[in-house]
Chain A
């Protein structure tokens, strides 16, 4: 297939940036979207032009690095990561627009690369169980009902890609934050710090400049890992009970 690519180019964080058009030809349907960009980059590099910078690493949908806003959708037309998107989802002759995630809390570093360290700082604020290495009970000492373990696992699948933020008109990070809050609130190991965790993570989220949640569900619809917005409801419950009570939740 032959394609026209309209790609956001931006030299660095302070550059204004803008779209630039490129043509690629002989693209096979079996190529992944990123392999198609590899072809473009190889052409650019050979010509001595700066290749289009984009984030990627595992290329199997699990590291959360890849992050392209394709034709108005984070990770493109399918509910998957960009690296798992194949050219068979596009048509010959099509023009494809490629932009970075757009959110105040995710500044653009170069071209399509954004800085998502705000997510790390949200985790840093309380997204853990405060346990040191050693001195813990046997793994089978506390049985956990399968249904609960499965729900925790559903929430734990988040890969921290940021598509939920990119999909949201308010650039809210509620889906990401609630996934971690839920995972740990569901498990017995996370009970002791339940209240503090929800409070601190939500506070950090606000401090990073993410917007408010207005329950449109756009995040869930675009999340490549199928994280459900029921996690947001759960986090809201956690947060409010934390705020109204002074005692640790049990």
Chain B
């Protein structure tokens, strides 16, 4: 049994009391401590800037050429906060409840409450940084509604909320770089974690421009390396997103929680061809005004406008009348898959459903719709060549967000002391399904408001290291060099990209939106076979001493091939359905996910044991809200 170290006290006092009791370091002594931060997305930039402002030294790493390129930049829709500006009954408690329920009661109450509690200060912080959130004519902030809730608590900046928030965090970070509180290493990839007496004390980094490997030492290591949904190959993530940093930490002893819980976003563009490299997301906010439907008749070849109203199935409105088109993501994605599997898919590859704006255009006028979503409609037309004001959009579910990640306790510390994990890289607040607009929030809150306190509390118990031993990290350096040498030497005839594509295909088909024991067993075997082929037939041209993107890719795919096996183990072990994890064997008569609270009300935290994985359980206790059947009907 593992201990999440949840503080005592009533739910709404836990965090306040934690801060009140946390150990501090006096300002003059803080500069003696150094933190390594890997990642410059919202979580990484926020924690680096915040620690540096407190007076700690920070050394920051990103494989991107600039911190501003982190994939947080791509978030479109918005960020949630329980500001209650709308007088629509929102509160911290309601947000807490929505998030816990949205996650199908597979997250920790205390963490979820804290995220909701800190959400308000985050909006204040962003506005103070100059983030240009949307405003009403009176000059006050505007809100919209997102899936899985009945209030409007989402703040947004056109279709670029992530970019604007990241700009704010990036600018705060660059200010600290200018003040020399932060040493920034761009185009540097973390290759391994270094432990000293069981504590995280450093990393091995590779300079992607020169290929040089280097050893870095600090008093604590913070991973904010984002999500690994790109393991499915076709996903809404950026091409370079990967799971390597957390996987390397996992191999060093950090538990990996709920690796198989990946969210499929219901409104991405469908795959159109075999060379496709990614699936573009259309913001979920479109579901505020778009209606989702398929033809009632399977294999209907008529164009959408030729299908009369009474021959259309608005299946979300039919199945979930109170949430309708705003049903949560896991449910909407699965419902789409059901329709597609039943032969009702539309579009050239019959792999999509319609998202139709006719009703809203008739109700509100084209101009209003254009004001709300103009840039998204433009983007849609650029990619597909189709005008969505006149014909419905084609949308389809796509791998999007990893709820799973390194297990962390209430302090966001992993099972390795001194290793903190923030943002999408951890498993914490979203349970088995994340609500839209909650993850920008989680990444920000982790970085600005939570980790600065918990990390200071940890460092206060550590002696700052003045003298780094000569042999520090030498072993890891040698192992990394050997690993790269091994990959380079294979010299087969298949590119890393080809392996990745196959890996993604296997995962999507055998461990995607619906999961079945026998199918997953085949999948696991297929991954093992693919892994053997990888070590026989991989081809990396070029040399290790220069920019070599094929080598970068190959190392990431190597880790993905291992992580994929853990994903199958995790999905096989959990004999229940919850949130995004839908086991075909465990469903209600109505086809909804059927949880098994008696046997599975725990978080699976896996320990790496040389090719085997050992399960540890963190039991979830619900003091304030009793788990109920998650219904949106």
Chain A contact residues, CB within 8 Å of chain B? 11-12, 28, 30-32, 34-35, 38-39, 41-42, 44-46, 48-51, 53, 55-65, 78, 80, 84, 86, 88, 109-110, 113, 115-117, 119-120, 123-125, 127-134, 136-140, 143-146, 149, 152-153, 156-157, 159-160, 183-184, 187, 189-190
Contact = CB atoms under 8 A, between A and B. Distances in A.
A49 to B, nearest CB: 6
B555 to A, nearest CB: 15
Nearest to B277: A35
A156 B172 CA distance: 15
Given A46-B539, A139-B124, A64 B68 contact: yes
B281 A125 contact: no
Given A30-B272, A146-B135, A124 B174 contact: yes
B124 A117 contact: no
Given A57-B69, A63-B238, A159-B73, 7 more contacts: A51-B549, A57-B238, A64-B68, A109-B209, A133-B448, A140-B85, A160-B68
B130 to A, nearest CB: 5
Nearest to A61: B379
Nearest to A13: B209
A160 B498 CA distance: 31
A156 B497 CA distance: 35
B277 A157 contact: no
Contacts of B495: 41-42, 45-46
A216 B550 CA distance: 40
Given A38-B497, A60-B74, A120-B66, A137 B128 contact: yes
Contacts of A53: 547, 549
A50 B541 contact: yes
Contacts of A149: 132-135, 139
Nearest to B447: A133
Contact of B546 (A110, A117, A127, A153): A110
B601 interface: no
Interface stretch (B96-104, B156-164, B213-221, B358-366): B156-164
Interface in B29-61: 46, 49-50, 53
A89 B94 CA distance: 49
Interface residues of B, number: 81
Nearest to A78: B382
A144 B549 contact: no
A28 to B, nearest CB: 6
B277 A189 contact: no
B74 A140 contact: no
A124 B177 contact: yes
A107 to B, nearest CB: 11
Most A-side CB within 10 Å, residue of B126, B129, B550: B129
B53 A132 contact: yes
A134 B452 CA distance: 11
Contacts of A56: 239
A128 B272 contact: no
Contacts, number: 213
A129 B71 CA distance: 23
Contact of B175 (A42, A65, A84, A128): A128
A78 B547 CA distance: 30
A128 B239 contact: no
Contacts of A119: 66
Given A115-B65, A131-B129, A59 B50 contact: no
B550 A51 contact: yes
B83 interface: yes
Contact of A189 (B64, B121, B127, B278): B127
Given A42-B497, A115-B65, A119-B66, A59 B278 contact: yes
Contacts of A153: 132, 134, 157-158, 164
A80 B67 CA distance: 22
A140 B275 contact: no
Given A42-B498, A123-B174, A60 B209 contact: no
Contacts of B85: 140
A8 to B, nearest CB: 15
Contact of B547 (A64, A113, A144): A113
A139 B83 contact: yes
Contacts of B535: none
A125 B178 contact: yes
Contacts of B280: 59-60
A215 B454 CA distance: 52
A153 to B, nearest CB: 4
B65 A50 contact: no
A4 B623 CA distance: 67
A156 B452 CA distance: 28
The 7 closest A-B pairs by CB, nearest first: A143-B139, A128-B171, A136-B128, A153-B132, A139-B127, A57-B238, A152-B132
B221 to A, nearest CB: 21
A159 B130 contact: no
13 contacts: A12-B546, A42-B498, A46-B539, A50-B541, A59-B277, A128-B130, A133-B449, A134-B121, A136-B125, A144-B135, A146-B135, A157-B160, A190-B130
A45 B158 contact: no
Contacts of A183: 130, 132
B256 interface: no
B240 interface: yes
A143 B134 CA distance: 12
A55 B69 CA distance: 11
B167 interface: yes
Nearest to B69: A63
Contacts of B379: 60-61, 84
Interface in B143-197: 157-158, 160, 162-164, 167, 170-172, 174-175, 177-178, 186
B66 A62 contact: no
A35 B275 contact: yes
Nearest to B85: A140
Nearest to B274: A28
Interface in B353-409: 379, 382-383, 385
B603 interface: no
Contacts of B74: 58, 60, 62-63
Given A30-B272, A120-B66, A132-B53, A58 B71 contact: yes
B140 interface: yes
B25 interface: no
Interface in B102-134: 121, 123-130, 132-134
B81 to A, nearest CB: 9
A44 B550 CA distance: 11
Contacts of B126: 139
A120 B239 CA distance: 22
B547 A84 contact: no
Contacts of A30: 272-273
Interface string B63-89: 011111101011000000001010000
A45 B550 contact: yes
A157 to B, nearest CB: 7
B451 to A, nearest CB: 11
A30 to B, nearest CB: 5
Contact of B273 (A28, A133, A146): A28
A138 B124 contact: yes
A80 B547 contact: no
Given A35-B275, A132-B53, A45 B69 contact: no
Contacts of A144: 135, 139
Nearest to B131: A156
Contacts of B125: 131, 133-134, 136
Contacts of B461: none
B211 to A, nearest CB: 11
Contacts of A39: 275
